[in-house]
Amino acid sequence: MDESLVQRAVESGDPAIADEAFRQYDSEIQQSSNERQRAELFLGKAVLYGVFLRFKESRRSLDLALAQSPSNPDIQLQADHIGASLYDQEGNHEKAFERLTAVMHKHHRRLTTQPDLRFAYEDIQVRRGLDAVWIGQFQEAVPLLKECLSFALKAEDRGNVLSSLGRCYSELGEYDSARENFIQALRIGLTKELEGEAHMRLAVACAKLGLFNEAKQEFQLCEERVADYGLEIVKIYGWLSWVSNRLGEKAESEKYKRLAHPS
């Protein structure tokens, strides 16, 4: 199989290149008499279908992979991992968390003792941690996300984990820890959407901790970039009014109060 063709399809997002890769997968499958090899080719097709959001075809390829080599534990693990991850791609985080947790329990010994499966273990744990945040299981997410910080993550992924951990601590009322994690996440760098949320939550954490000057600076930054961040300006003005009042800035507080509640 020409892996460079698959890589080009993934990087370009070009359906025409993907179709060429699928045809090559089919040709390789037809020519192969090795069950393990055919199973791995079907798994490769399943992953590529997932990249192009063709989920029904992806799951069909996973079934065909298992049919080729039903008793092979490596094929079973890969199929379970890919199948669970598809729910993340579909945005069904509750189902993704449920299935990924089942994969971890089912294959725990192999995932935690075989060095060549370390990448799969780390991917599952990162997904579980982020999914737990999505579905509001903040207490359960904390140890998962803290473990993920021990992994050799890319900068953006590390920032995402730190920001998610900050959100957990915010929701749990642990504002010192929330502030620390948001500061680290913003220092590393986040996407615009996550950056805005992190600044807003950092501002709230500072306000809750009585760090009113720091909170005001963060809320004002959110005000300046509200269009880029997609935040609710009325909510920002409400907080700015409250923080300004705490700082004894009565005129500022009234100004923001009027902006938050225009007549």
Say if CB 196 and CB 225 are below 8 A apart.
yes
φ, ψ of residue 151 to 5 degrees: the values are: -85, 160
- pTM > 0.85: yes or no: yes
Structure confidence by residue, pLDDT tens digits, 161-193 = 999 999 999 999 999 999 999 999 999 998 877
Say if CB 244 and CB 252 are below 8 A apart.
yes
DSSP letter at 115?
G
Please say if the pLDDT value at position 70 is more than 90.
no
Average pLDDT rounded to a whole number, residues 196-224: 96
Residue 215: other Cβ atoms inside 10 A: 25
Say if CB 116 and CB 97 are below 8 A apart.
no
Dist CA 36 CA 11 (whole Å): 27
Three-state SS at 246: helix
Residue 222: other Cβ atoms inside 10 A: 23
Dist CA 205 CA 166 (whole Å): 10
Tokens describing residue 81: 């991992």
φ, ψ of residue 2 to 5 degrees: the values are: -80, 95
Please say if the pLDDT value at position 14 is more than 80.
yes
Confidence of residue 231 (pLDDT cuts 50, 70, 90): very high
Percent of the chain at pLDDT > 90 equals: 90
Structure confidence by residue, pLDDT tens digits, 132-164 = 999 999 999 999 999 999 999 999 999 999 999
Dist CA 65 CA 43 (whole Å): 6
Tokens describing residue 30: 């037809």
Dist CA 256 CA 241 (whole Å): 5
